[in-house]
Amino acid sequence: MKHDQKYYQKLKATLQEWNHEYYVLDAPSVSDREYDRVYQELVALETAHPEWIESDSPSRRVGGEVLQGFEKVKRKHRMYSLDNTYDETDLREFDQRIQKVTEMEDLEYVVEPKVDGLSIEVQYNMGLFHLAATRGDGQSGENVTANVATIRSLPLKLQGKNIPDQLTLRGEVYLHRDDLALINEERQAQSLELFKNPRNAAAGSLRLLDSKLTASRPLRVVFYAFVETEGYQTHQQCLKQIKAWGLPSHGEVQVAQNISSLISIIEHKQKDLRQLPFDVDGLVIKVNELSLQKQLGYTSKYPRWAIAYKFETENAVTYVEDIVLQVGRTGVVTPVAVLTPVELAGTTVSRASLHNQDEIAKKDIRIGDQVVIEKAGEIIPQILRVITDLRKKNLSVFSFPKACPSCGEPLSQTPGEVAVRCTNYYGCRAQIQERLRYFCSRKAMNIEHIGPSLIEQLVCELGVRSPADLFLLKEEDLLSLPRMAEKSASNVLGSIESAKQNAQLFSLITAIGIPFVGETAARIVAKKIHSLEYFLKHDVVFWKKDLEELHGVGEKMMTSLIAYFSDPRHLTMIENFKSVGLWPVVENLSNTQDTLGGKSFCVTGTLSLPRDQIKNQILDHGGKWVSTVSKKLDYLVCNQESSSSSKFIKAEKLGIEIISEQMLQSMIGGSS
């Protein structure tokens, strides 16, 4: 064996090239035996000279120490999800919306397969693999670097040119169907539960605490975008660059020249993609030109320049074994059908939402019926119709109960509403549990280690009634619960403390579950009130007058806010939050931050900043954002001296002042 570092580097480069040929190009140039021979030679050299080992060595993929858990990773650039569309009409509406904003016709779109896997973000520093994290809630995810490093198709070192010092990629981890079959064969032999579909297997494999186990699973990864796009004109160029760096990318990408071309491509793709060896649950359609993507920007959830086209809905036939009632956090009682388990879209379905009593009556759903269920992009399947021809005789019409299934109190229905409610807000155990579950959820306070089972124990065994009670829990309280070990109790208390220390006011307002007040409205309210002391210090007359002009809070929301904080029991809960130290505060804004003084702004044409960023700047500095031109508008922002856009023409006609983006920035800075 040669003990020469240059020879070692040559072996390493050779193995990296062979890995790329086998896992990315699917075109191996050497036999498995030859690969193994060279690999063992590399390992022997590294054993003799551990000081030579670098992070991009193929031997680094075998996995390492067992983790205790996954660290949270906060990201600079949010990972958004995609809005869904299901037919040609939706696609044309999507195209028309983009045409309206960009004032362009015949837009170019890139069409990519939507791989059914687990979304991840991968970072390279100086061309070397550095970090991988799951999407999580978009703003932060779990650090799965050690596990992603075991994926053979992922290069630990990038190849080619134009590699930025820091590169942030977005991709999907997935499994081939044949690979899932082999994994399930092994699990069956070991009497382990089988994975339902490739996506579940991929997600479970990526979240194993032992990366050696992850390395034994044939996971794959494909990349579809990167963040550092400066210098690139189109998304298509970015995809070509991904491939040039030696990264696995989509091989089924097409570019549509306009909406008609896009629809034609989709019609052909839907048939072709079903022949792929991995699951695809639709297509992703993106505006090709990056400058237009920037102009279109984002909503609070989705990019406006991309959409997912979901394939035709899958149906299945099963039986309704029972209809049960679930009580939500606001008291709404929702009927749910208990079904004979059936396979649908790769998962076993045993329940379906029935929405409300009117829906049951409309479809005439009865216990014992044979029904057709569908999964049209929904998490919870729906009953499409009853097969009445096969209905057995003497099946009773379902009668909605008059009393709450949880607390036994009478149910009520407000005239004009379809919802039936339990009005025992403070005494109904089901409502209390659901409010606590929502409070702890990711979208609210994000308190880990507190699931539905523990919440039920906390309510039934420890008498927890309010979210504030969670912050009074002690170790001895938790240890008194069945099957609660010291480690678990420590994890629960640690999560509660972490939530308290890192709480933001808008998250707390969201978490307490005020009807009609979601995260967006909670952010607006938080910025105005600065702390919950506002509701303790002032009375309802002051709130109504002070908040009525708040942009983004409508009459329905205002009524709900006032009703919620007029209840003495809710004010007591807020006082309890304060006493336990859960008291997030938004710092007072300086005078210079209100420089737009309530003036309204509308935007048209191409800008240098994304529209969401412009919108946030206007709102953050005391302005109002409007989407249409009317005589009440103060300013239209447009970088062109003359424009054929309908907004520009209408603004000129109404005599509204038209300013440039630079002038807007001067106003924000207080210069005018």
Calculate what percentage of the chain has a pLDDT beyond 70: 91
Residues in the chain: 672
Q: How confident is the model at residue 645 (pLDDT cuts 50, 70, 90)?
A: confident
For 651, the token pair is 């603004």
Going along the chain from its start, the domains and CATH numbers come out as 5-62 (1.10.287.610), 84-310 (3.30.470.30), 315-412 (2.40.50.140), 429-501 (1.10.150.20), 505-579 (1.10.150.20), 592-668 (3.40.50.10190)
Total Cβ atoms within 10 A of residue 290:
20
Residue with token string 């929301």: 557
Q: Which residue has the higher pLDDT, 605 or 563?
A: 563
Which residue out of 2, 100, 114, 243 is catalytically annotated?
A: 114
**Cα distances (angstroms) measured from residue 516 to each of 48, 139, 503:** 66, 24, 21
Q: What is the pLDDT of residue 518?
A: 78
The mean per-residue pLDDT over the stretch 629-654 comes to 85
Residue (of 193, 224, 73) closest to 137 by Cα position: 73
Residue 327 has pLDDT above 90, yes or no: yes
Q: Which residue has the higher pLDDT, 520 or 58?
A: 58
Residue (of 127, 401, 361, 143) closest to 244 by Cα position: 127
**C-alpha dihedral sign at 577, 583, 584, 586:** positive
Q: What is the pLDDT of residue 67?
A: 57
Q: Which residue has the higher pLDDT, 225 or 2?
A: 225
Q: How many CA atoms lie within 13 A of 239 on its CB side?
A: 19
The mean per-residue pLDDT over the stretch 497-512 comes to 93
**What is the tens place of the pLDDT at every residue in 140-161?**
889 999 999 999 889 999 999 8
Q: What is the pLDDT of residue 130?
A: 93
Residue (of 100, 81, 92, 99) closest to 306 by Cα position: 81
The mean per-residue pLDDT over the stretch 303-310 comes to 94
**What is the tens place of the pLDDT at every residue in 604-624?**
887 888 776 787 788 777 777
Calculate what percentage of the chain has a pLDDT beyond 90: 50
Check: CB of residue 636 under 8 Å from CB of residue 614.
Answer: no
For 301, the token pair is 């959830």
Q: How confident is the model at residue 590 (pLDDT cuts 50, 70, 90)?
A: very low
Residue 596 has pLDDT above 90, yes or no: no
Q: What is the pLDDT of residue 671?
A: 46
Q: What CA–CA distance (Å, rounded) separates 204 from 208?
A: 6
Task: Please say if 114 is a catalytic residue.
Answer: yes
For 90, the token pair is 């939706």
Q: What is the pLDDT of residue 10?
A: 87
User: Which region among 123-132, 413-422, 443-452, 476-485 has the lowest average model confidence (pLDDT)?
Assistant: 413-422
The mean per-residue pLDDT over the stretch 82-97 comes to 90
Cβ-based neighbours of 431, under 8 Å, separated by 6 or more: 327, 328, 329, 330, 331, 406, 422, 424, 425
Q: How confident is the model at residue 344 (pLDDT cuts 50, 70, 90)?
A: confident
Q: Where is mean pLDDT largest: 251-260, 405-414, 524-533? A: 405-414
Name 123's bridge partners. Answer: 131, 168
Helix (H) or strand (E) holding 340: strand 332-344
Q: What is the pLDDT of residue 36?
A: 65
Q: What CA–CA distance (Å, rounded) separates 632 from 641?
A: 22
**What is the tens place of the pLDDT at every residue in 377-420?**
445 688 989 999 899 989 999 999 999 999 999 999 988 778 89
**Cα distances (angstroms) measured from residue 406 to each of 27, 324, 424, 477, 617:** 61, 11, 10, 25, 47
Residue 222 has pLDDT above 90, yes or no: yes
pLDDT, the chain, mean: 87
Q: Which residue has the higher pLDDT, 229 or 594?
A: 229
Q: How confident is the model at residue 191 (pLDDT cuts 50, 70, 90)?
A: low
Please, what's the b/e burial string for 539-549 (b: 16 or more CB within 10 A of its CB; e: otherwise)? eeeebeeebee
The mean per-residue pLDDT over the stretch 573-600 comes to 80
Q: What CA–CA distance (Å, rounded) separates 408 from 405?
A: 6
Residue (of 387, 381, 399, 319) closest to 344 by Cα position: 381
